[in-house]
Amino acid sequence: MAYLFTSESVSEGHPDKVADQISDALLDNFLAFDPESKVACETLVTTGQVVLAGEVKSDTYLDVQNIAREVINKIGYTKGEYQFSGDSCGVISLIHEQSQDINQGVDRGSKEEQGAGDQGMMFGYATSETENYMPLALDISHKILHTLAEIRRENKEITYLRPDAKSQVTIEYSDTNEPQRIDTIVVSTQHDPFDKDDEKMLAKIKSDIISILIPRVKAQLPKETQKLFDDQIKYHINPTGKFVIGGPHGDTGLTGRKIIVDTYGGKGAHGGGAFSGKDPSKVDRSAAYAARHAAKNLVAAGVADEILVQVSYAIGVVEPTSIFVDTYGTSKVTLSDGDIAKKVAQLFDMRPFAIEERLKLRNPIYLETAAYGHMGKEPVTITKVFESPYNGRIEREVELFTWEKLDMVDKIKKAFSL
């Protein structure tokens, strides 16, 4: 029987994502000036205020207030009427030094023997239904909001947009798990109050989203996916009415509250640990990236059409406590899922330091992950510039999204005789 599946995304101006981006900007600056920094930084944003809290062990000192303000302004919160602006908000720092009790379990005499920064289980997922091996509903949801932000910054075709927005896409699947059509698209976007008549204003927003935004999103997708858009799609555009009050003035934002948006949109599984603001010794983050790297390469190599990889750890212990694989009955090899998991353990070194080295995670690469998903983006090398009144100016060439590289496909094919 056919079924529906839904995923959502939120924009870079959503309060929780503002918090994530500030936390990751702080992390990047710590790692840029001291790659051995241990960071667990949380951010709270609300009307006119930013609160920074957490634990840091680093040889560098940062102007955390200025970093937070730069992030807020770059997102687009630059006007007083938003009740939250990078130039005028208060920034309170409650960051303190990392607990020695935790640190002693992580740092060892040999880096190779570095223990996991926490216990827990992390998941990586991949599916062949999209070119980037991500769930289709989530991929389209991200593209809707990323494109909406581009239109907002262009300020040409739609001139009333504000930074806060959410999207949601529902896809109809066949009995054989093939996408058939897009059933529903939901877009809620913050906007200026540009008409005294609310009904006329909402009608204009709905018309612009359907006639301007959606065609630009559709054009980014492969032809097969474009066929899923038909004239029967149900659109809910700002369904609660006008959306003038938004961002941190409308809702308090906290680091780590959008973990499903950050990963697979409800497909696969999630271990519960957030990513942003955490250095790679925290396996919540690094092992989730490593599990995605393994899952994506396994699907690309043809082991299965859909794969979930779970890895788990005990705090302070070097080796993972388990590795689990689920192919959802889509395996193309004669091995059981348990035997596939054993091969994954042989192919991918899941010790914390090995993950850091393999994926080059002790670099300032994290701000770019903090909006529109940590998975499914294109690996790219860029130059980033960091300036500090205490540390001067440095340029760093870094590789972004190393866990998205298809650099293990040949080894996997050889291991599985594909």
Q: Is 39 left (phi over 0), alpha (psi -120 to 50) or beta?
A: beta
- The answer to whether residue 152 is domain-embedded is yes
Is 306 known as a binding-site position?
no
- The answer to whether residue 321 is domain-embedded is yes
Q: Residue 118: its pLDDT value, please?
A: 84
Is 353 known as a binding-site position?
no
Please give, one letter per residue, the 3-state secondary structure of 131-152: CCCCCHHHHHHHHHHHHHHHHH
C-beta separation of 284 from 122 below 8 A: yes
Residue 124 shares a structural domain with residue 148: no
Q: Residue 236: its pLDDT value, please?
A: 98
- The answer to whether residue 158 is domain-embedded is yes
Q: Residue 254: its pLDDT value, please?
A: 98
pTM over 0.85: yes
Is 279 known as a binding-site position?
no
- The answer to whether residue 306 is domain-embedded is yes
Q: Which CATH number characterizes residue 231's domain? A: 3.30.300.10
Residue 342 shares a structural domain with residue 219: no
- The answer to whether residue 168 is domain-embedded is yes
User: Domain count of the chain?
Assistant: 2
Average pLDDT over every residue of 363-374: 98
Residue 325 shares a structural domain with residue 210: no
- The answer to whether residue 395 is domain-embedded is yes
Residue 144 shares a structural domain with residue 233: yes
Residue 168: pLDDT over 70: yes
Residue 341 shares a structural domain with residue 396: yes
Provide the Cα torsion 181, 327, 402, 412; round to 10°. Answer: -130
Structure tokens that stand for 136 in this block: 């289709």
User: How many CB atoms sit inside 10 A of residue 99's CB?
Assistant: 11
Residue 1: pLDDT over 90: no
Residue 149 shares a structural domain with residue 124: no
Residue matched to tokens 């303190």: 96
- Domain that residue 227 falls in: 3-10+136-246
Structure tokens that stand for 344 in this block: 């994954």
Q: Residue 51: its pLDDT value, please?
A: 98
Residue 124 shares a structural domain with residue 164: no
Q: Residue 107: its pLDDT value, please?
A: 58
Residue 212 shares a structural domain with residue 336: no
Q: Tens digit of pLDDT for each residue in 61-118?
A: 999 999 999 999 999 999 988 999 999 999 999 998 865 555 555 555 566 678 887 8
Is 42 known as a binding-site position?
yes
Interatomic CA distance for residues 148 and 161, integer angstroms? 9
Q: Tens digit of pLDDT for each residue in 188-209?
A: 999 999 988 899 999 999 999 9
Is 242 known as a binding-site position?
yes
Average pLDDT over every residue of 357-361: 97
Interatomic CA distance for residues 189 and 201, integer angstroms? 13
Residue 365: pLDDT over 60: yes
Residue 414: pLDDT over 70: yes
The share of the chain scoring above pLDDT 90, in percent, equals 90
Average pLDDT over every residue of 323-333: 97
Q: Residue 103: its pLDDT value, please?
A: 53
Residue 177 shares a structural domain with residue 225: yes
Residue 163 shares a structural domain with residue 200: yes
Is 378 known as a binding-site position?
no
DSSP string, 41-93: EEEEEETTEEEEEEEEE-S----HHHHHHHHHHHHT---GGGT--TTTSEEEE
Q: What strands, in cross-sheet order, belong to the sheet with 38-46?
A: 90-97, 49-57, 38-46, 253-254
Residue 164: pLDDT over 60: yes
Q: Residue 98: its pLDDT value, please?
A: 65
Interatomic CA distance for residues 409 and 69, integer angstroms? 42
Is 111 known as a binding-site position?
no
Is 337 known as a binding-site position?
no
Is 223 known as a binding-site position?
no
The interaxial angle of helices 337-347 and 283-301, nearest 10 deg, is 110
C-beta separation of 120 from 314 below 8 A: no
Name the domain boundary from 218, 246, 274: 246
Residue 167: pLDDT over 80: yes
Is 53 known as a binding-site position?
no
Q: Is 358 left (phi over 0), alpha (psi -120 to 50) or beta?
A: alpha
User: How many CB atoms sit inside 10 A of residue 332's CB?
Assistant: 13
Residue 157: pLDDT over 70: yes
Is 5 known as a binding-site position?
no
- The answer to whether residue 188 is domain-embedded is yes
Residue 293 shares a structural domain with residue 352: yes
- The answer to whether residue 60 is domain-embedded is no
Is 258 known as a binding-site position?
yes
Residue 238 shares a structural domain with residue 353: no
Name the domain boundary from 226, 246, 266: 246
Q: Tens digit of pLDDT for each residue in 245-301?
A: 998 999 999 999 999 999 999 999 999 999 999 999 999 999 999 999 999 999 999
Name the domain boundary from 223, 246, 269: 246
pLDDT band at 158 (very low <50, low <70, confident <90, very high): very high
Q: Residue 14: its pLDDT value, please?
A: 98
